[in-house]
Amino acid sequence: MSAIEFRQLMIAVALLISGVCAGCGPSHEGPELKPATGMVMLDDKPLVNADVYFLPINDTPGIGGKGRTREEGEFEIVYYRGGQGLPPGDYRVAVSYRLMPDGAPVPEDDATPSIESPARESLPSRYSSQEQSALRATVASGQPVELKLTTKK
């Protein structure tokens, strides 16, 4: 094989590989996302630094998402596969408010697995359990979700 033929072969291989890899990047295809925002109140006061999980139920597509409450208890849900919001549908909502032994909330960037963390859940499982929470929300028109929690039974 001559140097010119070898070079042409290498160019052809490079073009083939680049064409195949063009589809290797992250996909922008996926479900349509609607805004999923709201507010969490605990005993009529904003709950700040709580994690809010939306878990799809009743044939709702997708895998759900998570957000964290800010001042005034407001939150925005980020879809687990990227993007702001969630696919329209029905969701079980869990609100977790884990506190460190000194009473401080778990930092948002803390990646310590729950089983290894000294933090403990301060909300009852009727709100905090991703499997058992009684909280429900519908994501459809972009209307904010109001979650009113109480420490009373």
Predicted confidence pLDDT, tens digits, the chain (153 residues): 666 665 665 566 666 665 554 445 445 567 899 999 999 999 999 999 999 999 999 999 999 999 999 999 999 999 999 899 999 999 999 999 999 999 888 888 888 887 898 999 999 999 999 999 999 999 987 789 999 999 887
Q: What does the CA dihedral 123, 127, 130, 132 come to, rounded to 10 degrees?
A: 120
pTM, full prediction: 0.77
Q: How many residues does the chain have?
A: 153
Q: Which residue has the tokens 């859940």?
A: 121
Which tokens go with 42? Answer: 């605990």
Cα–Cα nearest to 90, from 148, 34, 7: 34
- From the centroid of its chain, how far is CA 118? 23
